[in-house]
Amino acid sequence: MSLDHYVTLGHSGLRVSPFCLGAMTFGEEWGWGSSVAVSERIIDRYIERGGNFIDTANGYTKGHSEKIIGDHVGRDRRTRDRLVIATKFMSNMYLGDPNGGGAGRKAIISQCEESLRRLRTDYIDLYWMHVWDRFTPIEETMEALEVLVKSGKVRYIGFSDTPAWKVAQAQTLAHFRGHPRLIALQIEYSLLQRTVEGELIPMARELGLGITPWGPLKGGALSGKYQRKDHGKHEPGRGARVADALTDQTYALLELLDVIARECDTTVARVALAWLCAQPGVTSPIIGARTLEQLDDNLAALDVKLTEAQLTRLSDASKPQLAFPAQFVAAGTMFYFGGTTIDGQRGEVWSQAPQSDEERY
């Protein structure tokens, strides 16, 4: 597979690359990003390889991420129109102003105008709600997004980092009121973050949302550069987010990833990304890079084809403890399958059910 083997995003006609270029690393304002020059080279390399999907947010590097993208591709209309540029609203860029951020009508419309200015464009292809604003009625948020879509300033909408029940409420509301529907869900998902498989992923698949995972390498914890023998010797570049993830279970998983990487003649990071790409509902994982070398290494994951046995080994080694009722629902087939096989799944026989006609009242 390559970046120009495009896929449709959710229940829509929007075609995107199988890897999305994350732009949270564009700009050095947070202390660990890429310079403007390097960010531009990363954009160029991604486009040269056939990529068309770039994801940013109004709050990334204090707005500089959007500006870097706009300054580089916004001046060439042909390049800009070929790209699917996604950004997010929510971050408050004006301390002391309670309406400077959030998902209210006033905030959404003003944030959109500011993003359009920084991106040097007159429309946003995919506009995300960055996180659920529990202080704003979802009806107001969806109505404001409808205004932006009908005005032509936004083409498609999606939600990021929002509980499954709230996403489902918004999508149902859109269905019955005729609002533009959500086409995508952005959530953290990786071999080290699989609790989303309990509610969010089944919800997204049921409601037609393409999944674009962020943090596919858990901030670098799955990059392959951390080993058990070096534990505690170096401070991870992303701080506690990575340090807290480097547990005995993680090191065991990394050792398995290394074994499979050797089997496939590739790298640990590529195997971790290939596993994610193979998961049901995943459309376009978001890969971030601070250097061209990191970008090229991540893109090479598109060439990694894991066997069913390798996928199973990784899934078993990283199996999460899901919240109720996920496990109960999964085991519930024994109550209603009657020991038959349906859609390829064999149901266990419930020992408390009648085992013969004579036992049934």
pLDDT single digits (tens) 277-336: 999 999 999 999 999 999 999 999 999 999 999 999 999 999 999 999 988 888 888 888
pTM: 0.93
Set 6, 60, 189, 226: catalytic member: 60
- The whole-angstrom separation of Cα 62 and Cα 72 is 18
Nearest to 159 by CA among 217, 210, 121: 210
Which residues of the chain form CATH 3.20.20.100?
Answer: 7-323
- CB crowding 30-68: b at 16 or more within 10 Å, else e: eeebbebebbbbbbebbbebebbbbbbbbbbbebbbbbb
Confirm if 179 and 142 have CB atoms less than 8 A apart: yes
The structure tokens 């674009």 sit at 212
Nearest to 140 by CA among 101, 104, 180: 104
pLDDT of residue 246: 85
Q: What residues form DSSP beta bridges with 85?
A: 54
Q: What token pair was written down for 291? A: 């250097």
pLDDT of residue 32: 87
pLDDT of residue 304: 97
pLDDT of residue 205: 98
pLDDT of residue 234: 63
Residues of the chain with pLDDT under 70: 230, 232-239
pLDDT of residue 255: 96
Q: What token pair was written down for 6? A: 């495009």
Respond yes or no: is residue 60 known to be catalytic.
yes
pLDDT of residue 224: 84
Confirm if 204 and 195 have CB atoms less than 8 A apart: no
Q: Where does 64-153 show beta strands of DSSP type E?
A: 84-89, 124-129
Query: 7-323 is classed in which CATH architecture?
Result: Alpha-Beta Barrel (3.20)
